[in-house]
Amino acid sequence: MRRSTVLTGLLTLCVPILLVAQSTVIKQVPVRTTRTMEGPDLYAEYCAVCHGKDGKGGGPAAAALKKEPADLTQLARKNGGKFDELRVLGVINGSDVVAAHGSRDMPIWGTVFASMTTNEGLRKIRINALVQHVATMQAK
């Protein structure tokens, strides 16, 4: 099994890290399905562990990653002041690979959300809610 596949699976199942004897340990738990479809709640459940509550990349699992998670508050600034909704949607659903992710360390949430339900509409609602929430996080 490729290391990237194993790491992607691990990240899909990870929760905040625990610091034990100065080593980073990731506790694995099954991905929970949220009852809400609200962007802030979805972000808190699925994204904040790596990107941090504030979106700046300092989540509790960030230290266990090979590459630092993106500062989601700076996406528009890095794109000439315009938030690229389609690019963010592609990264979340897995159709776009971010060069900084290299082997695709970030979980492909489109696949994870699809595994939660057979309702394609619910998967799209979750992804779109996340995109809209990330848009609200942009630095002014």
C-alpha 85/C-alpha 80 separation (Å) is 13
CA 8-84-73 angle, 5° bins: 70
Task: Kindly provide the b/e burial profile for residues 7-17, where b requires at least 16 CB atoms within 10 angstroms of the residue's own CB.
Answer: bbeebbebeeb
pLDDT digits (tens), the chain, 140 positions: 444 443 344 444 443 333 333 455 555 556 677 778 999 999 999 999 999 999 999 999 888 888 889 999 999 999 999 999 999 999 998 887 765 544 556 777 888 888 888 888 988 999 999 999 999 999 98
C-alpha 69/C-alpha 139 separation (Å) is 17
Query: pTM higher than 0.85, yes or no?
Result: no
Dihedral pair phi/psi, residue 89, rounded to 5°: -60, -45
